[in-house]
Structures are given as structure tokens and as C-alpha cells.
Structure 1
Amino acid sequence: MRDLDDSGWLDRIEDLGELEGYFEPLGQSHAALFADRGPVLLVSFETRATIRARTDDQLPLGFALAEAADHSSLTLIATEESWFRDPAVYAYFDRLVDEAFFEDFDRVVFYGAGSCGYAAAAYSVAAPGATVVTLAPQATLDARLAGWDDRFSRKRRLDFVSRYGYAPDMLDGAGQGYVIFDPRQSLDAMHAALMARPQITLLPCRGLGARVETALYEMDVLEPLITHACAGSLDEATFWRLYRARRNALRYLRGLTNTLAQMHRTFLEALACRNVVARLGGPRFRNRLTVLEAELEAQGQPLPKALHERV
């Protein structure tokens, strides 16, 4: 669908909704795509730009993952970064609650990242007992509570006070929740701290950077993460087991070695580069290792032989 403009793409999504369940515009800037399949429901919040940039098929992530597992899906789509703060969206979830929509499913999972992570947490209150998975979400942009976050100044005019407003409070009814973030991204870490609740597990992942969803997607962690959530088998131990995939993710490894370089930790950077070269190869890491080894030799601190080189 890459040859389509945004209007044509949305028409295709509407056709998909009519085939699978329904497609419903929600005001001028949002829409809902429902696919009626199995007794597990994945509710995802996504922006048009993110959907169209992710894969060639340009299908919403939640829709695609649910389809592969024969789960039902409800995808809320925003035409821009809106945090889904729209009376039309409030009214839609009010209607779902009135119709006892979520009670028709054995398990409900809410998912979103960033502004969409905020929405996943905020609207999860409509389905008490749901599992909520959020990546680097904002708790609110209300200046009284998060005036320290200066990244979204143009969005301060949005109403974060009325319906479905303060995401941490909306999580009180969740069965289990997971907030994944990079603690080195200080603003993301501050929002995550606001999300802390007895049933909410904070998962700080150093080195993910600001684009947590992209990083986990490229590590091939995002899909199994959501799959486990939908199966009811996600817990902290499962996440950390999945997250070991970072050891083979070149973007993550580049970020790690760049951080060590910025900290002037030459010895540790050299060890990291040598480890990557031994396991994965890569000319960038090999060339950098050559430079670092020369620097360490000049300093009288040569790298010790690797274990496989020792007699």
C-alpha cells in the first residue's frame, strides 16, 4: 500500500474493517478498526505515520499480530500524535463499556508506545482486569503534574484533566501492567515512576534509547512480548528472557559502544567490540576494535587474550 496517499490508505483500512468486523471514524482525527476472531482481544493504539512506516504491508501492528494468532483486535488509529485526547474517543469507549463489549472476551490486552502508550494506560480503565503493556508512555502532559517535560509544548492545549485523563490513576483497575523504558532517558523514567502501582511492573532497559518500540521491534522482542501478554504468560522473568535478544541487535550494540566511548571507557569499549566481532562480525566494530587496541597498547594496558585464545 506504499503507493497510496493517506486518504487511499485509510480507504483500504476501512475495507479491511468491513471484511473483518467494522471500521468506525471517531471524529476528524481518529478511527477504530475491529476484527472479530477469537476470545482474546488485543487493543492497540497507533498513529497513521507509525503504521505506514513500519512494514511494507502497512497494517496496524495490533491487527497483524492478532491475526497471526487468531485473536480479535481493536486498533485505535490517530492521524497525528494526539494522545487520543478527543471527546469522540471518550464517547466511543463509554459506548463499549455500556454495551459490555469487553466482557465478551476471555482476556483483554492493551498496548501502546509513547503517546499511544499513554492512551493504552488511560483507556484500559474501560476493561477492568486487562493486561496493559506500555513502552515509554507519558503519564500526562498536564502542566501542573508534568511541567518538567518540555518535549511536547505544542500539545499542552490538549485536555488531560477530564475523561480518561491521568493515566496512572486509570491503571488502578488493570490486572497486570508493564511499563518498559530506558532509565537513561530521564523524562521517560520520570513518567514511568508516576505509573508505579502494586500491579504495575516497571522494566527499566538501559540502552534502548528514546525509540523504545522501534528498538524492541528490531530486536524481534516486540512480537513475542505481545504474544505472551495475549497468552497470559507474560511476567517479569519472561520479559528479561526475551530481552536477551539485545545481545545480537546491532543498533543496540552500537548504542552501547557509543555510550562507552562518550564515557571514555576505552577498555570496556574494546571488550564490547571484541565480543561483537567474535559473535557477529561487522566491519564497523572490527575497525573500532583495531583503533582501541592500539590506544590501549600505547597506554600500556593491552587487552588480555580472549578465553578461546588462552592455552
Structure 2
Amino acid sequence: MTTGPKLLLSAFAAQPRSSFLEWLAYHRAIGATDVLLFTDRRQSGKQPLFDALAAAGAVRVTPVAVDPDMKEEIHNSALRAAAVEATDSGGYGLYLGADEYFCILNTSKSVQSLMRSSGGADVLSAPLQVAGMAEGQDSGAILFTERPTAAVTADAPLRSVVRLGLFAARNPEVPTGPAQGKAALNWVNGDGTPMAEPHSRLTWTNDAGARGASKAAILKIPAPSVEAYLLHTATLPEKQHPDADTLIAWLETQRAITGEGPDLTPRMADTARELDSLMALPGVAEAQEALCAEERATLERLRTGGGDMARVLGAVGAKAPPLAPKTKAQPPVTPVAETAEITPDAEPDPRPEAPAALPPWFAEIHTGGDTEGFYTRLKNHAVVGILRDQARLVISFDNLSNVNDLSPEREPWAYKFVRDNGWSHMAVMARRKDWFRCPQLIAHLEKLAADGVFAGFDKVVLTGTSMGGFAALAFASLAPGATVISFNPQTTLDETLVPWEKRFGMGRARDWTLAHSDCAFEIDEVEKAFVLYDPFFEPDRRHVDRLEGDNVIRLKTWCSGHFSPVFLRRAGLLKPLMQHALDDTLTPDVFYKMYRDRRFLPWYRKALQTNLQERGHDKLARIVSPAFRKLKRQAAE
């Protein structure tokens, strides 16, 4: 094993596979000094291989509550790993799936020396490439076979080596939030060249240069052989088994992958030595052999048992698996790992049935979850706190459509987006159309502010749409210095102030003498208030005209009506907009450059035609459709 600065490697594995030992040996060979393994706590004490490795000090096993949707665990465990990395120092952290191999493609002998050769980088983000299945490849060792083919895409996900103690949070791709105690970051790509600023996933989405791979890349091997993948599906609960047609289609897609993948074979000798060392640890060889025997028996049963699995094997021409590894140093069967993320719809969905599952947000914060938080049920509202990261807090408010959803599965507004970025989230959920005009709720939010809850975060963002957009502005005074992202807000429904507002009868009937009832007087101390609205839609425009101050940034979503978030989502712009705002990189110039893509949305064409006709510009309205078709043709060329 390479000596020098530590390399903390973290991963999640619901249960051991025979391939894990090879994965561990390979990464020890390239510098992993500490291995943090998150496992399903329901299997604690029932995994001899993991237990033996932990007892020998080869890994640190941390049992955790597993999300009912297994695909979420790659995100959840990345957050857990970040919490450990943030409190450590003297080296680097790397988070991978248990079917992902970090490939050093220059002369560096270890990840640590690779970072030194990249100018002492603080972060190195390398692209992920998905390996295919070579024709005739059996289910044996993967490191010792021919160089695999691999799919390489311009928008490939990233995996990052990060200096320990520098970031408080990460997602599977990159660290998130501000760096701790360091203003200027040396953040490089897989070529070792600087990543474009501002440092965010959004910046690099369409930047081919972000995915350089001459020095480093990640090889993901979701299905090295047909048998290995069938072995993986056979271990799932029966109700999660994909049908034969789905399996055949996915496996054929995997076998059709072309392109030259990273070469793992130069690490063969070092990996074999590390594998010998691991097998010599007390109890490891016995646990590994028992695991291999169990997998061989399962594969033989699949081959001879008839039914769907036999049809799959026949359809894709799979080879029979070998009965045993020839030597103890030869890595055994390599099935797919639990955290595989191939393409969003390519792999059969292994998620369990969800009726008895906890809502995802509650699963995070209940006693079996891994995130600190709170849930306060008031008479007409609920306040949920999910405290993932002290750097950023997003406060979201429900809109009118959420009010009608009283199901246990209901999620806070923007929950998935905030969770995927690893930020803390406080959600105010409503069960009536009251514009949050409730003395109990107002007193509760004021107390949270007085107790310093909001002041405890480096950055606070309030957001919502329509009724929620009103609340984001109205309660902004509770978090001085915050950023507001408000879509189509009302500034008040007090009829003495906005006598022209005839919508929202239930809202206008509420008590508008309560505190925080006029947004125009609540935003003086916010840093920025981004207000998105359609200037052609007069009721919304008149509300926005009431907002004054240099900190008010009006972003015009022409032709979206009262539905800016829906319009932006259909144009593929809502997440980029929110990402820019939360990364503090949103400006009018950035927004309007993105907003040009609205031209390809049929909604925009129809709304523009209607608007022109209503204003008496029939001639201009008639040329909208031909112009729209021309743009689409040009974009397709």
C-alpha cells in the first residue's frame, strides 16, 4: 500500500459481493489508506466478509438506515461521507460506488501523487465512463481481462478527490457549499487543468473541457458479464425482479457499448499483492470462499432452473460460469454493485414497493435516519427542518396546489432539488389557502429567528411560488442578508393596498393586519430578491411594481402567465436557474441568456401569438409560427 498522506475512500454496499474484495484491493493499491463502508444496518452482524475485514482494520463499517429506494443511497452515503471528510485533515477524500474504479492514467503511482502532479490540487473531478460487456467474457475477474469497452459521453457524471477538511458537504459528483477557510481553490479536471469558474455543476454541464481524462477517469462496471448481472438481480426481493424482456433489452444495450475504456491492467500486480494481503487476514479467506460458493450455486440454479432466467441466458448467449477461482490471488465473480447509476431509464428499477415506506424527508430525520432535524405540527401548518449542512439553508413555502395534498407521501416544495445538493432545508407546509396568515405560524417563525436558527447558517435562501412566493418575500425580514427567489408573488392581498387584485378570494378574506403582511416593507435587509414574473400578465406585474430597492432584481419570464416555474421547468431552465441562484452566480445577464431557450417551447409560441393578437398586431402574430419552425430546423441542423 502507498504511504504518505491519507486517502479516505468511502462507499455504500447493502450486502457483500465476491467482487468487493477485488475492488478494495485495487483501491488500496492506488493509495487508499482508510476505507469507510456504509452498510445496511438490518444486516449488521450477518455479513462475515465485512465483519472480518472490519475486525482486521481493513475497513471501517458503519451500519445505516437504508432508504426504501435503493437508488437514493448513492446520494445519502455521499452526504454521510462528507460529514466525515469535513472533520478530517492531512490528505484526501474520495467517494465511489462499489462498482466504480478510479483509474490513474498518467505515471503517478497513487491518487496522492496524482494530486501533487496536478499542482497540489484541492479538488480533482474526473469523468465517469460506463463499461460494456465484451463478447465471450465470462463472469470471472475483471481486472485481469482484456481492456473493456466503455461509453463516453460529453455530459458524463463526475467523481471527485477532495482535500480533507475543506468542504462541509458533497454529492456523489462534487463537493458543495463554500470552502472552509480557503478563498481560492485549485480545482482541476481529469486532465489536471483548471475547472471553469464559478465552480458548480451547472457551469460544467455543457462544458466538454470539464470532462478531461488524460490523467484520471472513473470506470464503472455495472455488468461485466451476463451471469454477474443475473446474480445481482437474483439477490433482490422477488417483487423487485425485472421481467425477462426488460432484462434482455438492458443487457443487449450494455453489450452494444463501444469505445475504448480506461485500462486497469497496469495495476494488476499491485492489486494481486493487496488481494493476497487481504486474504491472509483472519477469517477473510473463509468468508470469501463461502460467498463465492453461494454465488456459484445461485448461478448454477439460474442456468438449470428454466423459466425467465434461462430464457435470458439463452437470448443473450451467456457463457456458463467457472466453478471456482484457480488460485486464491485470482479475484472471483464480479456482480454489479448496489449503487449503479447507468442512464436514468436504462437499468431495470430495483426499488422496493413503497406503501409502507416513510416519506423520504421523514426517513432522513426520524430516529432511524442519519440527519438531524425537526418536525413541528401546528394547527394549520407544519414546519419541517432537515439539517444537512450548516453552510446553506433553503426555506421553502408551499403554493396553492400543495394545499390539497394531505397524503403522508407529500413532499416539501423543492425537496428533491435541495436534497440532491446536500443543503439544509426548512419547509413550511400549508393545509389551507391562507397565505400563511396564521398568528400561530407567524409567532413560531419569529421565535425560530429570535432563537438564532437562521443566523446559524452561512447563507439563507427563501423561495416559493404564488402564495409561497409571497411568503418568501414576507418572511425575509426574519433572516437579514438572505437571498429570495420568488416566482409570481403577490405582495399583499390587503384590499386597501391592492384594490385592483380580484383573484384569490380565500386569501383576501384572511387577516391582513397581522405582521409580515406587506412584502414591500419586508425586504429592506435582504441581500438579493430575485422576482420572476411575466410582464405581460398585468396582475402579477402590478404586484412586482410595488417592490422597490436596489436589491430587487426583476427577471421577466415573458409569455409564462402566472406559471413561471412550470414554464421554466418545461423549458429545462428551472433547475439551472435555482442552481445559479443558490450558487450566488445568478445575474440578469445569466438569466436572459438561458431564457433564450424558451423560443423552442410550444407554450411560448402560442402565448406570444395570443399576446400579439390581443394587442392588435395580427400581422406579427401570423409570422410567429413560421419563425418558430425555422428556429427548430436550425437547432436540429
Compute the TM-score of the two structures, normalised by the length of structure 1.
0.79
- 228, 242, 261: which is aligned to 2:580? 228
2:426 alignment partner, SS class: strand
Cα distance change, pair 280–21 in 1 and its aligned pair in 2 (3 A): farther
- 533, 536, 541: which is aligned to 1:189? 541
Residues 402, 430 of structure 2: 8 Å contact kept: no
Question: Does 1:216 find its partner at 2:564?
Answer: no
Residues 569, 575 of structure 2: 8 Å contact kept: yes
1:188 alignment partner, SS class: helix
Residues 14, 23 of structure 1: 8 Å contact kept: no
Specify the alignment match of 1:166 in structure 2.
Answer: 518
Matches within 5 A, 1:287-298: none
Identity over the aligned pairs, expressed in percent?
25
Opposite residue 447 of structure 2, the aligned amino acid is R
Opposite residue 161 of structure 1, the aligned amino acid is T
Kindly state the Cα deviation for residue 262 of structure 1 after the two structures are TM-superposed.
Answer: 4.5
- 2:617, 2:517 → 1: CA distance? 44
- 64, 67, 79: which is aligned to 2:431? 79
- 1:130, 1:9 → 2: CA distance? 35
Kindly state the Cα deviation for residue 23 of structure 1 after the two structures are TM-superposed.
Answer: 4.3
- 1:248, 1:146 → 2: CA distance? 36
Specify the alignment match of 1:33 in structure 2.
Answer: 384
Opposite residue 36 of structure 1, the aligned amino acid is L
Residues 560, 604 of structure 2: 8 Å contact kept: yes
Opposite residue 163 of structure 1, the aligned amino acid is A
Specify the alignment match of 2:75 in structure 1.
Answer: none
- 18, 21, 24: which is aligned to 2:375? 24
- 2:614, 2:474 → 1: CA distance? 38
Question: Does 1:116 find its partner at 2:475?
Answer: no
Residues 437, 514 of structure 2: 8 Å contact kept: no
The worse-fitting range, judged by mean Cα deviation, of 21-30 and 115-124 is 21-30
1:251 alignment partner, SS class: helix
- 140, 150, 164: which is aligned to 2:492? 140
- 1:185, 1:43 → 2: CA distance? 27
Kindly indicate which of the two structures has a greater share of residues assigned to helix.
1
- 1:63, 1:142 → 2: CA distance? 31
Task: Give the gaps of 5 or more residues in structure 1.
Answer: 282-305, 307-311
The worse-fitting range, judged by mean Cα deviation, of 119-128 and 198-207 is 198-207
Residues 167, 195 of structure 1: 8 Å contact kept: yes
1:154 alignment partner, SS class: helix
1:25 alignment partner, SS class: strand
Specify the alignment match of 1:69 in structure 2.
Answer: 421
- 1:81, 1:52 → 2: CA distance? 9
Residues 380, 430 of structure 2: 8 Å contact kept: yes
- 1:277, 1:74 → 2: CA distance? 44
Cα distance change, pair 258–9 in 1 and its aligned pair in 2 (3 A): farther
- 2:517, 2:358 → 1: CA distance? 28
Q: CA RMSD in A?
A: 2.9
Matches within 5 A, 1:5-20: 14-18=362-366, 19=369, 20=371
Specify the alignment match of 1:300 in structure 2.
Answer: none
Q: Which runs of 4+ in 1 moved over 6 A?
A: 8-12
Kindly state the Cα deviation for residue 236 of structure 1 after the two structures are TM-superposed.
Answer: 1.5
Compute the TM-score of the two structures, normalised by the length of structure 2.
0.40
Cα distance change, pair 58–278 in 1 and its aligned pair in 2 (3 A): farther
The worse-fitting range, judged by mean Cα deviation, of 151-160 and 82-91 is 151-160
Specify the alignment match of 1:198 in structure 2.
Answer: 550
Specify the alignment match of 1:241 in structure 2.
Answer: 593
Kindly state the Cα deviation for residue 141 of structure 1 after the two structures are TM-superposed.
Answer: 0.8
Deviations 1:195-236 (A, max 9, x none): 122211122332111222211222222211111111111122
- 2:501, 2:449 → 1: CA distance? 32
2:414 alignment partner, SS class: helix
Deviations 1:108-135 (A, max 9, x none): 1111111111100011111100011111
Specify the alignment match of 1:103 in structure 2.
Answer: 455
For the pair shown, the structure with the greater C-alpha radius of gyration is 2
Specify the alignment match of 2:224 in structure 1.
Answer: none
Kindly state the Cα deviation for residue 58 of structure 1 after the two structures are TM-superposed.
Answer: 5.7
Opposite residue 143 of structure 1, the aligned amino acid is E
- 1:131, 1:93 → 2: CA distance? 17
The worse-fitting range, judged by mean Cα deviation, of 25-34 and 128-137 is 25-34
- 2:624, 2:614 → 1: CA distance? 14
Specify the alignment match of 2:189 in structure 1.
Answer: none
- 2:597, 2:620 → 1: CA distance? 20
Residues 462, 484 of structure 2: 8 Å contact kept: yes
Question: Does 1:175 find its partner at 2:527?
Answer: yes
Specify the alignment match of 1:260 in structure 2.
Answer: 612
Residues 115, 137 of structure 1: 8 Å contact kept: yes
- 1:147, 1:262 → 2: CA distance? 25
The worse-fitting range, judged by mean Cα deviation, of 188-197 and 216-225 is 216-225
Task: Give the gaps of 5 or more residues in structure 2.
Answer: 1-68, 70-352
1:134 alignment partner, SS class: strand
Kindly state the Cα deviation for residue 24 of structure 1 after the two structures are TM-superposed.
Answer: 2.2
Cα distance change, pair 124–263 in 1 and its aligned pair in 2 (3 A): closer
Specify the alignment match of 1:290 in structure 2.
Answer: none
- 1:247, 1:10 → 2: CA distance? 41
